Amino acid sequence: MRAIDMHVHPPRRSELPESAIEESLRRYFKVPEPLEDVAAMAARYEALDTIGVLLTVDSETTTGDKPDGNDYTSGIVAAHPGRFVGLASVDPHKGDAAVTELERALGELKLSGLKLHPVQQNFFPNERRFFPLYETCVAHGVPVIFHSGFAASGAGMPGGAGLTLEQACPIPWADEVAANFPGLTIVLAHPSWPWVEHQIAVALHKPNVYLDLSGWLPRYIPEALMREVNTRLREKAMFGSDYPYITPERWLADFDSIPMRPEVLPLLFKENAMRVMGLTAEGGIGSGVGN
């Protein structure tokens, strides 16, 4: 296994209607058409000898889009053993139904964590009504990956599709969730621009907070964050591409120009993610840092 890509979006389920939010993402990142199907995605990660962490976003309450569903993600993982790890997605506004679905996804479907998108799902994660979701993840010993920083979702649409960016600032919500749930492993996805200093502060202060570097080509990641990744956050940062918006090949090629300490590279590309996701050396699921 060469690496673990912590941020991979599978193709939308083919029988579902097109999503306006997905279209805005593809426009923002200038993703060429046609999009790859699941088989092509799997072949790409097979050729790279890389495990992909699959994630989707259930934002039905906010956007009206029908979600791909956790059975879809689980099916991809089962069809390509050893190549992908799947995260659950639930709509946090659905209350008890969201908790029940998360229990099913982590138990019956054997998914390996939870992905939440505070901007696209339009919620502040530190509100107590969402705490049962985190309690469920702690009980199962799995991480929660939160979108943080600027969101391309809705970018360029009138009013940004009604989405607002304030939910993406890690302080106070990520700091408060980490403080209230010290046994919960939290990953702040993407450089949290324009609040990168907040992201750095929370990750340095809270042992259970990590970050991935997806969604930005490495040359554009703020220097302050890369400096910390190379030093004090070397055991907290993880490689992520944001496929298909940024392909892993493109991210890795761009990273070649970034000066990094040699001892940081195995941590960034594999070892930190193995601990966070509970992966064994053979690529199987083991006991994560949340257990």
Look at residue 200 and tell me if it is in a domain: yes
Cα→Cα distances 232→35, 199, 201, 203, Å: 38, 13, 11, 10
Look at residue 34 and tell me if it is in a domain: yes
User: Secondary structure of the chain in the HEC alphabet?
Assistant: CCEEEEEECCCCCCCCCCCHHHHHHHHHHCCCCCCCCHHHHHHHHHHHCEEEEECCCCCHHHHCCCCCCHHHHHHHHHHCCCCEEECEECCHHHCHHHHHHHHHHHHCCCCCCEEECCCCCCCCCCCHHHHHHHHHHHHHCCCEEEECCCCCCCCCCHHHHHCCCHHHCHHHHHHHHHHHCCCCCEEEECCCCCCHHHHHHHHHHCCCEEEECCCCCHHHCCHHHHHHHCCCCCCCEECCCCECCCCHHHHHHHHCCCCCCHHHHHHHHHHHHHHHHCECCCCCECCCCCC
Look at residue 291 and tell me if it is in a domain: no
Structure token digits, residue 127: 């509100």
Give the pLDDT confidence score for residue 284 in this predicted structure. 53
Type of residue at 86: G
pLDDT in tens, 265-283: 999 999 999 999 999 765 4
Give the pLDDT confidence score for residue 1 in this predicted structure. 85
Which regions of the chain are under pLDDT 50?
Answer: 283, 285-291
Residue 122's domain comprises 3-277
pTM of the model: 0.94
290 in Cβ contact with 143 (< 8 Å): yes
- In this structure, what CATH number is given to the domain that contains residue 158? 3.20.20.140
Neighbours of 61 (CB within 10 A): 14
Give the pLDDT confidence score for residue 282 in this predicted structure. 56
Look at residue 288 and tell me if it is in a domain: no
For the chain, how many structural domains are there in total?
A: 1
Look at residue 286 and tell me if it is in a domain: no
Look at residue 285 and tell me if it is in a domain: no
60 in Cβ contact with 67 (< 8 Å): yes
Look at residue 289 and tell me if it is in a domain: no
Give the pLDDT confidence score for residue 33 in this predicted structure. 85
Look at residue 44 and tell me if it is in a domain: yes
pLDDT in tens, 209-220: 999 999 999 999
